[in-house]
Structure 1
Amino acid sequence: MSRRAAVVLGAAVISSWSLLATQALLNAPNALELRITTSMSGVIPSTLYGYMWEDINHSGDGGLYAELLQNRAFQGVLPGTQNALTAWQPYNGARLSVTNKIEGVTSALPNSLQVTIPKTVLGPIGFENTGYWGIKVQAGWTYNGSFYAKSDTFTGPITASLKSTTGATYATATIEGISSTWKKFTFTFEPSASALDTNNVFHVEVNGPQAAGQTIYFGMFSLFPPTYLGRENGMRIDLAEALAGTNPSIWRFPGGNNLEGESWATRWKWNETIGPIENRPGRVGDWGYPNTDGLGLLEYLNWAEDLGAEPILGIWSGASAQNYSELSTWPIVPEADLQPYIDDAINEIEFITAPANSSEWGALRSKYGREEPYQLRYIEVGNEDQFQPDSYAAYRWNAFVTAIGERFPDLEFIATTYPSTALNPPYLKIDYHQYESISWFENAAFMFDNYPRNGTQYFVGEYAATSTNDSDALGTIATGRFLYPTLAGSAAEAAFMTGMERNSDVVFASAYAPSLQHIRNYQWTPDIITYDAGRLVLSTSYYVQQMFSVNRGTHLLATSPASTNDSAPLYWVASHNNETNTVFLKVANTGPDDLTAYLFFDFNVTSLFGTAVMLSSPTLSSITGVFNISNTLDEPENIIPVSSAFAIPYPDRYNYTFPATSVTVLALEANI
């Protein structure tokens, strides 16, 4: 069919045509009549859309986790090295080093900042933290700060402040009472003016002549701005609001590769991420930078509740991702040694779900501030175990599922190997990841149409269009990877998503990944939201996720004929929400030309108006280079959804032109 072809989709929509004109177009060569019918073809699961989460690209520390100070407790660093002082710098000649020669703030935090004051010094002297490549200073915000300090000789006041790198002071606090034993000092900042940019620092100083020749030790710094919903130790507001704005229904955590660790000892350990932050040792994560684990198990669970999302908990399955280029070298726990790790997973699940008054682990959860158990249904056993399928199939899957299933019979387990791998017991749900090219996602829009209806279900636990070239889909940025999601890539993702929703009897959940990217330090692109210390940009893929997730039907509607390869580059799915009496038609046009659709349905629309939300480029042509059109931090609104209302002159038909390389959601009132 021509790329301005007539396609009839059976749901209601925009710009009316006369009956004679419509009939003439339907009789034209290559015209395809398509209808939405009242026959329900399946229930759409409430868990269909959401996110996969792991601390990559500084998406946790330096991102969603609102802590402003980088390297706050010198976790995962080697004392005496320059890297130990990441984000810290001297002021007016102080000598800084990280040491473990003295007792730390806690046994979990053995490293401290040693500040040595020269014997001769004029004026104030101290040190600064540059944050995660900047600090946002906002008038009207209250910042809550703290640090530990001690000195055998110095007893004078310490001044903490928020300052610009050019010397302007926005807020200050004076701390007194330092002694020879560790003491925690707390303070607040209330800036009277906002900084012009994020080139600001957390500044600590003492009187130079008073402190001359003396040594002061500091440990466990923290500085929080206001957080999402006011949660203590909580989330950065703008990023949290953006993620919440897509109405996600699942939150898969804590990874991902970052769950696995590069060794058994460096895996993500749930019990080291709970309780006071002073008791969390942190670790060097799989993506090469220290994780504070301030964003720990309870924070993740609270965050999922705040989102209204169902948690999918990943548990370590006995394999560590030591080196992806040398898969055979991955350390795998032998079957005879696996039981302690199974017990650890059982303890974690009990900590999450057990009543506080009848369980040691439930009581511990209550001690840390959460009386009621959390709701938990899904356990994902491992991550990407297709890289180590033999041991997974031989004993690891069976050992975890059998033991955990006996203790918690209501849990549902998700496997993480190839769908073709035979497991014992057989898997009922499986997670497989798709980082692919634009063309792959277009071609895969129908991959689930023939998925066996045998009781097994698919979780697309990570997916994103990463490149225009199949060979570059998992390559480096330099060889073709997108830095930001592009309009063409997002339209291809939308085509794939129509297939997931149309086959949601077998695709029970999906999770876009990765979620977040700090533009100053990242390991993977593209990502759905990119940010720095003060700004963020919502990508075209973000808007596609939002459009699909917010506009949800409860039941699929049949289309005749069904969306098939014959209709490419137009892809669609229709649904009806029985609670709001709304029909949704989601359409991706991945082609370079506008396509007109003539819409018929075997029910009557009950309102004279419908609505459309469209993501497209108003200036797009085949010459402009669609693959390169993205929202960026410097140009955050190149492509944003546009909403409109339209009149419906006939209750059972309508027509609409889908722009080239676009995603559209049409909504009509209909009591089916």
Structure 2
Amino acid sequence: MSRITIRTENKKFPVAPNLYGIFFEDINRAGDGGLYPEMLRNRSFEDSIEPKDCHTEQDGYALVTRAGWRDEFNHGEGLSRWIRKNQTPYTPVPAWYTQQAVMRLEREDTLNKHRQAALSAVFEKGGKLYNTGFNGISLKAGETYSFYMFAKTEHPVSVRVCAEDDSHVFGSMDFQLEGTGYVRYDGSFAADRDGDNARLSICCPEGGEISLGFCSLMPQDTYMGHGLRKDLVEKLKALNPRFLRFPGGCIVEGFSPETAMRFRNVIGPVWERPGHQLMWHYRSYNGLGFHEYLQLCEDLDMEPLYVCNCGMTCQGRAPVLFEGEELEDMLQDTLDAIEYAVGGKDTVWGSLRAQMSHPEPFRMNYIEIGNENFGPDYEMRYRKFFDTIRARYPNIRLIANTHLENQGIPADIVDEHFYSTAEFFAENIHYYDGYDRKGPGIFLGELAVVRGWVGQLYGALGEAAFLIGMERNQDVVELASYAPLLENVNYNAWFPNLIRFNNRESMAIPTYYVWKMFGNSRGENVVEAEEETGILYRPVKGMASLMGPSGLRYKNASWNGRPVGISHELMGRIEEKDGVFRILPPDQEQREEAEKLYGVDPERVFAVFGEEEVTSGAFDIEIYAEEGKEISLGIYSSRMPKEVYVADETHPPKEWNSANVKPFVWRLENGISSFREQAYPEDKYLDEERLVQLQYGQFNRFRYEADGKSMKLYVNGECIHEAAVPSFPAMACAVSDSSTEVIVKIVNFSPEEDEVEISLDCAVETDYKAVVLTGEKQAENSFEEPERVHDEERLLSGAAEQFIYRAPGYSVNVLRIGKKK
């Protein structure tokens, strides 16, 4: 049984009004073919064209930047696994195919200066040119679809444009093409029945030659008529989000100067917006642009939070720095974006907004300068942007990527990102308790469980526990959003994502319902609440490992008294002579592998003993000690659970590598013994540092004992460290109230029902409401069972100043208890 004692009389601080929001980045084809429901893939015919400052290798397989970053390209089709999964036939112009016709890209005679290509086709009689959409085109009976194309022809040509599959025509339009230059042709059709794998065909019954400059097929029925996919926006609305962070994410930075995000490229008529290659393996046509984001914010009553490029490309992908005029232009681009949003219609950019049918200004109260940028290069650029924006728009709150206040650089808010395991989030429930209340506010801009219980209920519980800790600290944490938001399941580049969709339907992962429950239950003030509960230990496994400088000598390694050898040479090779083993320096193959990994020192060795699937036991080893030379042992040396994201898809890392094995580290050097965990954002010490006496010039006996809950570390028979395996509360809560109700948020990590004894200092109504998310630990949603795990509202009775609430095992709970008048 757990206990919660609530003191509503002790109001700690008001709730942060904009705490829960959403973050959109165009990843997993979340934009085109998703939130922006364009149905034609490669509508601008440019997907196979590499960016100007890049080249392709291996016959179009890999895209390589001038700075050396690589990505899968596949002639513009993106990831190889997409091609395999979707069974995409090869075509020189992605998504476009011909039958009794010949097509080619026209690079000179294009629609306008922003278009890099047009598509020319020569038809035989009865020939056709067709587009397969985003892994097919989905049509709904009775719904109307709008089509337009810019086409030119030297001689009049009759064409029929139809949506069809191999056995049926769902709707068609007839056009007579003629005139001088590119001419826009518009049409529409109503689908006569449902279809899931249609294509859009341009048929030429009598033959002829045409050039297409741009084309589009969109459903007429969009959210509020503003051009976005209804079911996806409705799911966003249900979260009750208070802000939208856009347009990224890493796509803001780009992976090269040309692919960096610029406001000027994402406004105006969509056929005049230059598309650009995204680091998430495909090209964006930028139909979902700055105006569309602002309109979505207005439609859902969200604060826009615009992320601007601060003059540098992605620092995780061979960065390029903008200098001189390039940097000044990027700053001006940001100022132009702000003017577009909030400037009067008599300003340059405000007048363009007015031309887009929005004469009145939008809101713009938050600007984030850069995305995940850091270091001196960022600090200089940030300060330049901060000073300029603050001088012109003093009311806009400016967000930094790192804690620049530690360098004396001003920031209103700092953005922090966390991607880890469910246990990490649960263990860090007190993360913000010690933050400086006089420093900048915190934006928890990106968080997700990406290893282990990914997209499953238990992962959602871990994230919910971290949000509980955040809610307790709303005097410092002002904003929070999950990442990523949307995923087209046919073009997955990252997992998990809050909402998953295909061409016809959408569903949400369990985490979505946590954010929905918390975002719709806010209260007015955070009130004092004390909890009493048990603890749960982090699951651990794996044997020992050796790390440190090369040349380390050891012998007589054993596990539970039985000899054990090295099973994985992650860095360094093992040499044996007369029963003594030496770890040699990493070889060339290992050094090349290390170059693919983040935070790996190519000079240090790393070797793992024995089997991975062990939790309890004793490890013994004799290690030769040399004065001034480090000795490091790893305890619980196993692989972290895999994540979907791979930094370089053309050279994925090995299953076992020195970046994904993170044991607890027992380090001895210069007479000091330390025991710590390799953790983010900094290592955590599991025990105090201790003095230790080694016998230099000879082998010393090292031993550790572990049982899954505690660890004891010995040198030459003396216990040096004793530490617990990291743990977290079995139950956690946060409480807010208003003049009319008390809102109690509870996370129960235990598999068993917890009879939570709740004590209040105010009279409450007997009847109350509970919104509950529960299920099996590994439960997840699918298109076959889209609501296997979802929020369920329960009407309960029995609330009093002291009562029992039975929190189901593995559950997130929101109790709304009315105060008596």
TM-score by length of 1: 0.85
| Structure 1 residues 660 and 608, CA gap change in structure 2 (3 angstroms) | closer
The partner residue of 2:339 within 350, 375, 386 is 350
Q: Distance in 2 between matches of 1:64 and 1:524?
A: 17
Q: Distance in 1 between matches of 2:326 and 2:261?
A: 18
How many residue pairs end up in the alignment?
593
SS at match of 1:157: strand
User: Aligned runs of 1:272-283 on 2, under 5 Å?
Assistant: 272-283=265-276
| Structure 1 residues 322 and 100, CA gap change in structure 2 (3 angstroms) | farther
SS at match of 2:793: strand
| Structure 1 residues 98 and 59, CA gap change in structure 2 (3 angstroms) | same
1:474-529: per-residue Cα shift (whole Å, max 9, x none)? xxxxxxx83xx110000111111111111111000001000011111121111011
User: Aligned residue for 1:466?
Assistant: 450
1:623-659: per-residue Cα shift (whole Å, max 9, x none)? xxx2x321122332221222110123x6322211212
1:154-213: per-residue Cα shift (whole Å, max 9, x none)? x2321111112x221111111124334211110111112222xx1111121110xx21xx
The partner residue of 2:350 within 362, 368, 376 is 362
Unaligned 5+ segments in structure 2 are: 51-58, 61-74, 77-91, 536-726
Whether 1:78 aligns to 2:84 is no
Whether 1:408 aligns to 2:393 is yes
One-letter code aligned to 1:664: N
User: Aligned residue for 1:436?
Assistant: 420
1:365-420: per-residue Cα shift (whole Å, max 9, x none)? 2122220111111110000013xx12122x11111101111111111111002x37
Aligned partners of 1:144 and 1:224 also within 8 Å: yes
Whether 1:568 aligns to 2:557 is no
User: Aligned residue for 2:372?
Assistant: 384
1:414-448: per-residue Cα shift (whole Å, max 9, x none)? 1002x376344322310010011111000111101
Whether 1:527 aligns to 2:497 is yes
SS at match of 1:136: strand
Q: Distance in 2 between matches of 1:586 and 1:298?
A: 37
Q: Distance in 1 between matches of 2:261 and 2:357?
A: 22
Q: Distance in 1 between matches of 2:783 and 2:28?
A: 16
For CA contacts below 8 A with separation 6 or more, give which structure has more relative contact order.
1
One-letter code aligned to 2:524: T
The partner residue of 1:116 within 122, 128, 132 is 122
Aligned partners of 2:732 and 2:746 also within 8 Å: yes
Q: Distance in 2 between matches of 1:373 and 1:584?
A: 36
Aligned partners of 1:127 and 1:203 also within 8 Å: yes
| Structure 1 residues 544 and 170, CA gap change in structure 2 (3 angstroms) | same
Aligned partners of 1:228 and 1:240 also within 8 Å: no
1:209-250: per-residue Cα shift (whole Å, max 9, x none)? x21xx3211121111113433434x11111111111111111
Whether 1:98 aligns to 2:257 is no
The partner residue of 2:742 within 583, 607, 620 is 583
Whether 1:216 aligns to 2:366 is no
Report the Cα offset of residue 323 of structure 1.
4.6
Aligned partners of 2:315 and 2:373 also within 8 Å: no
Whether 1:611 aligns to 2:769 is yes
One-letter code aligned to 2:210: I
Report the Cα offset of residue 330 of structure 1.
1.3
Q: Distance in 2 between matches of 1:288 and 1:252?
A: 22
SS at match of 1:161: strand
TM-score by length of 2: 0.70
One-letter code aligned to 2:242: S
Report the Cα offset of residue 586 of structure 1.
0.8
Q: Distance in 2 between matches of 1:218 and 1:577?
A: 60
Whether 1:507 aligns to 2:477 is yes
Aligned partners of 1:260 and 1:268 also within 8 Å: yes
Q: Distance in 2 between matches of 1:135 and 1:571?
A: 46
One-letter code aligned to 1:532: N
SS at match of 2:97: strand
Aligned partners of 1:8 and 1:35 also within 8 Å: no
Q: Distance in 2 between matches of 1:332 and 1:603?
A: 59
User: Aligned residue for 1:29?
Assistant: none
One-letter code aligned to 1:391: D
SS at match of 1:541: helix
Aligned partners of 1:397 and 1:423 also within 8 Å: no
SS at match of 1:348: helix
Greater strand share, 1 or 2?
2
The partner residue of 2:261 within 268, 275, 278 is 268
User: Aligned residue for 1:643?
Assistant: 793
Q: Which deviates more from structure 2 when the two are superposed, residues 377-386 or residues 186-195? A: 186-195
Q: Which deviates more from structure 2 when the two are superposed, residues 492-501 or residues 336-345? A: 336-345
Q: Distance in 1 between matches of 2:368 and 2:314?
A: 17
Q: Distance in 2 between matches of 1:287 and 1:562?
A: 45
One-letter code aligned to 2:307: G
User: Aligned runs of 1:122-201 on 2, under 5 Å?
Assistant: 124-153=126-155, 155-164=156-165, 166-195=166-195, 198-201=196-199
Identity of aligned residues (%): 28
Aligned partners of 1:530 and 1:538 also within 8 Å: yes
Q: Distance in 1 between matches of 2:438 and 2:316?
A: 36
Report the Cα offset of residue 591 of structure 1.
2.3
Q: Distance in 2 between matches of 1:168 and 1:411?
A: 55
| Structure 1 residues 563 and 545, CA gap change in structure 2 (3 angstroms) | farther
Q: Distance in 2 between matches of 1:265 and 1:148?
A: 26
Whether 1:289 aligns to 2:282 is yes
Greater helix share, 1 or 2?
1
Aligned partners of 1:114 and 1:218 also within 8 Å: yes
User: Aligned residue for 1:667?
Assistant: 816
Report the Cα offset of residue 105 of structure 1.
1.5
Q: Distance in 1 between matches of 2:467 and 2:757?
A: 22
Q: Distance in 2 between matches of 1:95 and 1:337?
A: 42
Report the Cα offset of residue 264 of structure 1.
2.3
One-letter code aligned to 2:37: A
Whether 1:487 aligns to 2:457 is yes
Aligned partners of 1:318 and 1:332 also within 8 Å: yes
User: Aligned residue for 2:203?
Assistant: 205
One-letter code aligned to 2:43: R
User: Aligned residue for 1:426?
Assistant: 410
User: Aligned residue for 1:26?
Assistant: none
The partner residue of 2:309 within 310, 313, 316 is 316
Q: Distance in 1 between matches of 2:488 and 2:116?
A: 28
Higher alpha-carbon Rg: 2
Q: Distance in 2 between matches of 1:365 and 1:185?
A: 26
Q: Distance in 2 between matches of 1:127 and 1:281?
A: 24
